[in-house]
Amino acid sequence: AQKVTQAQTEISVVEKEDVTLDCVYETRDTTYYLFWYKQPPSGELVFLIRRNSFDEQNEISGRYSWNFQKSTSSFNFTITASQVVDSAVYFCALSEADNTDKLIFGTGTRLQVFP
């Protein structure tokens, strides 16, 4: 069975601090996809990244970076120099390679960035 665990329910940091959001997944598939979504207070879901299981390269996009490690079944998300606008709930999700329309979500991590 597939499962995504986000053990951190809520994280609070002060602006400019770096913060890492953890994501651990379980799947029996050898090919799968991992995602991160951001849900700001306004409620919409914003796609951040999609990574397939064949690509373990870390990815950086501005202040965001992702560390994918198959050996530990983790796909962690780091925000460098956090800003108040980063305050949101962040979801990690998993899908089978041939079934990308079915996402299994973690329970989310609420990040609060204080000025």
Partner 1 sequence: NAGVTQTPKFQVLKTGQSMTLQCAQDMNHEYMSWYRQDPGMGLRLIHYSVGAGITDQGEVPNGYNVSRSTTEDFPLRLLSAAPSQTSVYFCASNIGRNPTSTDTQYFGPGTRLTVL
Applying CB under 8 A, the residues found at the interface with partner 1 are 4, 9, 31, 33, 35, 37, 43-45, 47, 50, 52, 91, 93, 97-108
Name the minimum Å distance from CB 101 to partner 1: 4
Nearer to partner 1, 73 or 80 (CB): 73
Nearer to partner 1, 58 or 107 (CB): 107
Are the beta carbons of 111 and 86 closer than 8 angstroms?
A: yes
Are the beta carbons of 114 and 14 closer than 8 angstroms?
A: yes
Name the minimum Å distance from CB 84 to partner 1: 22
Residue 85's CB is within 10 A of a number of other CB atoms, namely 9
Nearer to partner 1, 71 or 101 (CB): 101
Are the beta carbons of 21 and 6 closer than 8 angstroms?
A: yes
Name the minimum Å distance from CB 75 to partner 1: 15
Nearer to partner 1, 75 or 91 (CB): 91
Name the minimum Å distance from CB 15 to partner 1: 27
Strands (E), the chain: 3-5, 10-14, 19-21, 24-26, 32-39, 46-52, 59-61, 64-69, 74-79, 88-96, 104-105, 109-114
